[in-house]
Chains A and B, each alone.
Chain A
Amino acid sequence: MTGYGGGAGALAGLRARWRRLTVGRWLVTGIPWLWLVIFFCLPFLFILKISLSEPALAQPPYLNWIRETADGLVSIVVNFGNYGLLWDDSLYVSALFGSLQVAAISTLLCLLIGYPMAYAIARAPTHLRMPLLMLVILPFWTSFLIRIYAWMGILNTNGILNNFLLWLGVIEQPLEIMHTSLAVYIGVTYAYLPFMILPLYATLSRLDPVLLEAAADLGARPAKQFLTITWPQSVPGVIAGAMLVFIPVMGEFVIPDLLGGPDSLMLGKLMWTEFFNNRDWPVASALAAVLLVVLIIPFLLLRHYESRAEANGEEAA
Chain B
Amino acid sequence: MKKVACGLARVIAWFTVRATGLVFAGSALNAAAQGSVNVYNWSDYIADDTISNFQSRTGISVSYDVYDSNEVLETRMLAGRSGYDLVVPTARPFADRHVRAGLYQPLDKSLLDNYGNLDPVILQSLADIDPGNQYLLPYMWGTTGIGYNVDKVKEILGDDMPLDTWRLVFDPEIVSRLSACGVSLMDDATEVFVAARAYRGLPTDDYSSAAAQEAADVVAAARPYIRYFHSSSYISDLANGDLCVAHGYSGDVLQARDRANEADNGVNIAYAAPAEGAVVWTDVFAIPVDAPNVANAHAFLNYIMEPEVIAGVSNYVAYANANSASVSLVDDVVRNDPGIYPPAATQERFIVLQTPSDSQIRSMNRLWTRVKTGR
Partner of B78, one of A60, A179, A261, A265: A60
- Cβ–Cβ contact A279 & B77, under 8 A: no
- Whether A277 lies near B80 (C-beta < 8 A) is no
Task: Say whether B227 faces chain A, with CB atoms less than 8 Å apart.
Answer: yes
Per DSSP, chain B at the interface is helix
B375 touches A265 (CB 8 A): yes
For A279, give its contact among B78, B366, B374 (CB under 8 Å): B78
For B365, give its contact among A146, A157, A278 (CB under 8 Å).
A278
| A262 to B179 alpha-carbon distance, docked (Å) | 14
Q: Give every chain A residue within 8 A of B77 (Cβ-Cβ).
A: 59
Counting chain B CB atoms within 10 Å of each CB, which of A158, A160, A261 scores highest? A158
Known A59-B78, A158-B3; judge A277-B365 contact (CB<8 A). Answer: yes
The smallest C-beta distance from A286 to any residue of chain B, in angstroms, reads: 14
Which residues of chain A are within 8 angstroms of B79 by Cβ–Cβ distance? 59-60
Q: A89 contacts the other chain (Cβ, under 8 Å)?
A: yes
- C-alpha spacing A280/B78, complex, angstroms: 11
Q: Is the CB of B78 within 8 A of A262?
A: no
Q: Classify chain A: how many residues form its interface, as a range.
A: 20 to 34
The answer to whether B372 and A262 have CB atoms under 8 Å apart is yes
Contact pattern, B 200-231, Cβ under 8 Å of A = 1, otherwise 0:
00000000000000000000000100111100
A59–B4 alpha-carbon span in the complex (Å): 43
Known: A276-B71, A277-B71, A278-B362. A262 touches B102 (CB 8 A): no
Q: Which residues of A contact B159 (CB under 8 A)?
A: none
Which positions 269-287 of chain A face chain B at CB distance < 8 Å? 270, 273, 275-280
In the bound complex, how far is the Cα of B289 from the Cα of A158, in angstroms? 47
- Across the interface, which residues of A come within 8 angstroms of B102, CB to CB? 58-59
A275-B75 contact in complex given A146-B11, A153-B7, A156-B242, C-beta closer than 8 Å:
yes
In contact, B71 and A262 (Cβ under 8 angstroms): no
Given known A-B contacts A149-B11, A279-B74, A59 and B226 have beta carbons under 8 A apart:
no
The yes or no answer to B370 lying at the interface (CB within 8 A) is: yes
Cross-chain contact B373 with A265 (CB below 8 angstroms): yes
B101 to chain A, nearest CB (A): 5
* A253 to B4 Cα, complex, angstroms: 25
Interface residues of B in 241-298 (CB under 8 A from A): 241-242, 289
- List chain A residues, Cβ under 8 A from B189: 277
Please, which residues of chain B bring their CB within 8 A of the CB of A273? 365, 369
Verify B72–A276 contact, CB threshold 8 A: yes
Q: How far is the CB of B360 from chain A (nearest CB, A)?
A: 11
Asked if B103 and A59 sit within 8 Å, CB to CB, the answer is yes
B375, closest chain A residue (CB): A94
Number of interface residues of B (CB under 8 A): 40
Quick one: which of B161-192 are within 8 Å of A by CB?
Answer: 182, 189
B80 touches A276 (CB 8 A): no
Task: Determine the distance from Cα of A60 to Cα of B80 in the docked complex, in whole angstroms.
Answer: 7
B112 within 8 A of A: no
B358 within 8 A of A: yes
CA distance A273 to B373 in the complex (A): 13
Task: Decide yes or no whether B57 CB sits under 8 A from chain A.
Answer: no
Which residues of B91-118 are within 8 A (CB) of A? 97, 100-103
The answer to whether A265 and B369 touch (CB under 8 A), given A59-B78, A156-B242, A280-B362, is yes
Q: Is B314 an interface residue (CB 8 A)?
A: no
Q: A276: which B residues are within 8 A, CB to CB?
A: 69, 71-72, 74-75
Cα distance, A270 to B375, chains bound together (Å): 14
A57 at the interface (CB under 8 A from B): yes
On whether the beta carbons of B365 and A179 are closer than 8 Å, the reply is no
Q: Which residues of A contact B365 (CB under 8 A)?
A: 273, 277-278
B362: nearest chain-A partner, CB-CB: A278
Instruction: Tell me if A55 and B373 are in contact (CB < 8 A).
Output: no
- Contact status A58-B369, CB under 8 Å: no
Residues of B within 8 A of A225 (CB): none
State whether A89 and B366 are in contact (beta carbons under 8 Å apart), knowing that A58-B102, A60-B80 are contacts in the complex: yes
Considering the chains assembled together, what is the distance between the CA atoms of A55 and B370 in angstroms? 23
Set of chain A residues within 8 Å of B358, measured between Cβ atoms: 55, 57, 279
Known: A91-B375, A153-B7. A261 touches B228 (CB 8 A): yes
Any B CB within 8 A of the CB of A79: no
How distant is A27 from chain B, measured CB to nearest CB, in Å? 35
Within 8 Å CB of A279, what residues of B? 74-75, 78, 358, 361
Complex interface bits, B49-85 against A, C-beta within 8 A gives 1, otherwise 0: 0000000000000000000010110110111100000
What chain A residues lie within 8 Å of B143 (beta carbons)? none
Question: What's the nearest-Cβ distance from chain B to residue A178, in Å?
Answer: 8
Residue ID in chain B nearest A94 by CB atoms? B375
* A61 surroundings in chain B (CB, below 8 A): 78, 101
Given contacts A153-B4, A157-B242, A160-B4, contact A91 B370 (CB under 8 A): yes
Q: Which B-chain residue is minimally distant from A146 (CB atoms)?
A: B11
Which interface residue of A89, A156, A262, A265 has the most chain B CB atoms within 10 A?
A262
Distance (whole angstroms) from the CB of B13 to the closest CB of chain A:
13
| A264 lies within 8 A of chain B by Cβ | yes
With both beta carbons as reference points, the residue of chain A lying nearest to B363 in the complex is identified as A278
Decide: A262 near B11, CB < 8 A? Known: A270-B369, A279-B74.
no
18 pairs of residues in contact across A and B, judged by CB atoms under 8 Å = A57-B100, A57-B101, A59-B78, A59-B79, A59-B102, A89-B366, A91-B375, A94-B375, A152-B7, A156-B242, A159-B3, A261-B227, A262-B226, A263-B372, A263-B374, A265-B375, A273-B369, A277-B189
> Which 8 residue pairs spanning A and B have beta carbons closest together?
A276-B71, A265-B373, A61-B78, A179-B228, A262-B372, A57-B101, A59-B80, A277-B365
For the complex with contacts A91-B366, A277-B71, A279-B361, 18 further pairs of A-B residues with Cβ separation under 8 Å are A57-B97, A57-B100, A59-B77, A59-B80, A59-B102, A59-B289, A60-B78, A60-B79, A94-B375, A153-B4, A156-B3, A261-B227, A262-B226, A262-B374, A265-B369, A273-B369, A277-B361, A278-B361
